[in-house]
A and B are shown apart, each in its own frame.
Chain A
Amino acid sequence: MSRKKLKILLLSLLPLLLLGFLAFRAFENSAAYYYTISEVQANGVSEQKLRVKGQLVPDSVIYDASIPLLGFSLTDGDAHIQASYRGVLPDNFNHSEEVIIEGTLNSQGELLVSKLMLQCPSKYEGEE
């Protein structure tokens, strides 16, 4: 390999290495692991941050606006999970087809939600 080619190769490796380093550094504390609700119930999940997707159990929503604290449970059809979110009740909450939550489990097996994502019924298509 000629010197010039080697130089070009090394120069093009530099951005890749830098990017890899930045990505590696950023990875810590920002990864959330996907679990199904049944999985969470079946075996205790370690303390890492997890993401769970499920349907809202009707009549499970309790909201105390003065704190504000929102409690609800989600189901995937088989199992349930209890979740609590310290924040304002979103407008489209009761109405969501699917709720995605991110957070950590406490000792009672309740998910303390740090991020709450709601998907509208048929995702912004009209109601049928």
Chain B
Amino acid sequence: MAYVGIISLYLACAGTILSIILGFRALKDKKEPLGILTHWASALSTLCITLSALSLVLALLTNDFNIAYVARHSARNLPLIYKISAFWAGQSGSLLLWLLIISFLSLVVQKNRKYQQNHLHIRLCIVINFVRLLFILLLLFVTPIFELLAERPFDGSGLNPMLQSLGMMIHPPVLFLGFSGFLIPFAFAVIGLWTNDTQATWLRHVGKWVLFAWLFLTMGIVTGGQWAYTELGWGGYWAWDPVENSSFFPWLTSTALLHILLLPNKHRLKRVWSYVLIVLTYTLTIFATFLTRSGVLDSVHAFAGGVLGQIFLAVLVVMAVFCFGLGWHKRQMLSMVPTESTLSNQGLSATGKTIVVGSVLLLMLFAGVLFGTMFPVITRVFTAREVVLDASFFNQLSVPLFLGTIFLMGMSPLLHKKASDIKILTKRLALPVLLALVAAVFTYLSTGHLAASVAFALAAFGFGTHLPVLLSPDSSRRWGGSLVHLGLLIIMVGITGSSIFVDDVLVSVEPGQEIVFGDYRLEYEGLTVRYGSERYTVGTTLAIVENGRCRGEITSEKTFWEGRDQPSTRVGILSTLKEDIYLNLAGWENTTAQLHLQRFALVSWIWAGSWVMYFGVLVALLGDMKLNVKGKQVKLWPRQMR
């Protein structure tokens, strides 16, 4: 298997180089057949990369421990799905997965007829193949993925128990899809400048791709949080850990980008800021990989990386210098206003101004979180003592900015059209203000918590302003965006609830004893032991009773593996709309168990809100396909404001 994998990687390498050379020739000679050959070479390389990836999957499934990577990340008794997810358990596998995703994206781009004018597709091919070449070279020479062992071990060392989880199946591929999705807008932007595209046609192509990448980036972050929430020692769904923050950077910049792209094409700010944000977002995805792999910051999620971190840093620097240099070189073209328009800064509508202010807030968040994350490095370099900032720094810094952003977001539907008319504005304000007041008063009276009241009031306000948009068929163009906003508001409610209303107890209980926890009574019956192949599991199941009614059961168990001194704990979670009960079997002595019980309010709102967001993006993406309804072209997501 290893040889098939290596040979196809070498072939892929040849294919990409050939495609780049042919591409440049095709641009120079302007010969059609050369352009077609460029695509064939590129497609061949995609095929070879797919083959290479398939051979790794096969090697994992057939326990081919000759290959060092398989021996290190898989084992004979590993369940089938974890054998597959062992594909991306190590760094070279992650790179191969990333490469595979880029390759499929390049196929999609090649197939698209819209990109076939002005040799755009050939240029796209060249840019994408440069990036692919980098990955292939890394896989061949820096972290050889099909490296063979001198002696074939009988069994592999298996997958770390913390990685044997559903999260491992979903989170890494989705995040990589998000990261690599930003390559396409990046390629468009660089090509736009390279070809002196004075009409900025590249701006027309990027919106959909940014939205696509943003969807998967969001999904990657949320699924990561969901995974960390169920895994002990990872600090809950969000801990402001450097690796978590590093995925948040491109999210913040791309969210700003999505909104800047809605400004009218005529506006001067749009071109410059779109270019800057696209380049920034893509370099930040590379930066995220660097932070994860380099070990410059302490993180519970850090991966071993060796030289890979340094290579990514070098690529990052070269790319940033090149792109911002190109931007500076072409600054006149970027800041040029189309001749036919006389629109200037003053001509921006109320919504446009909100977008600009909101984007500034998002970039402030980005700068603040980046500063806090890099603070250890800054102090290491410039002072005698390294200083680390903990979660409270990030919370204090970001909460006011988040609240400001959420407020603006809530305001945005109000300002849409005719907002200068006071009568209309008052009418639009009535429902949201009423909802906000009700939410604030209710929260304050029932909990007495001021910050929570403010947050819930803002959420209710935003809900009130977005609801009319979603209920009116006239504004179908804005449904997608409004749904995404609504999802974010729901997430905010979840985050507020689960970080403010928390209970935490640790109890020692004997069989038959009852625990009173909040409004609930939990009955402990004793421990159970199960034996499996090369492992045994100790667990307990508690029945949860509320007001004499059984609400369900939760199970937490610890598994001990033969030949591993690290057990793995599965926590039990009873999730309701109101709150999550979180059980960890912390330890035991004979039949007495130590139980760690936690309660987090409204956690499930975060996951529910994320689904509303995904749905909103889908509505927007599909709406962009220009549906023909009764002879009228209907678009749900406006590319630019009217």
Contacts and interface: CB of A to CB of B under 8 A. Distances in A.
Given A26-B392, A31-B389, A33-B387, A100 B397 contact: no
B388 A18 contact: no
B386 A33 contact: yes
A124 B160 contact: yes
Given A23-B368, A23-B371, A32-B387, A88 B596 contact: yes
B400 A95 contact: no
A19 B158 contact: no
B233 A90 contact: yes
Contact of A91 (B159, B232, B395, B397): B232
Interface in B580-614: 584, 586-589, 594, 596
Contact of B393 (A27, A33, A119, A128): A27
Contacts of B162: 91-92, 120, 124
Nearest to A26: B396
Interface in A99-118: 100, 102, 115, 117-118
A79 interface: no
A86 to B, nearest CB: 10
Nearest to A127: B157
Contact of A32 (B91, B302, B388): B388
A118 B300 contact: yes
B567 interface: yes
Interface string B338-374: 0000000000000000000000110110011001100
Contact of B390 (A32, A34, A123): A32
Contacts, number: 140
Nearest to A100: B298
Contact of B300 (A18, A22, A117): A117
Contacts of B156: 126
B566 interface: yes
A118 B233 contact: yes
Contacts of B304: 122-125
Contact of A102 (B90, B364, B390, B596): B390
B157 A22 contact: no
Nearest to A18: B364
B497 to A, nearest CB: 22
Contact of B73 (A27, A68, A90, A126): A126
Interface of A: 15, 18-19, 22-23, 25-27, 29-35, 51, 53, 63, 65-66, 68, 88-92, 94-95, 100, 102, 115, 117-120, 122-128
12 contacts: A25-B396, A26-B394, A26-B395, A33-B388, A63-B587, A65-B588, A90-B233, A91-B558, A91-B567, A124-B162, A124-B303, A128-B157
Given A95-B565, A126-B158, 16 more contacts: A26-B395, A30-B392, A31-B387, A32-B388, A68-B594, A91-B161, A91-B233, A91-B566, A91-B568, A91-B569, A92-B233, A117-B298, A118-B300, A122-B304, A124-B89, A125-B73
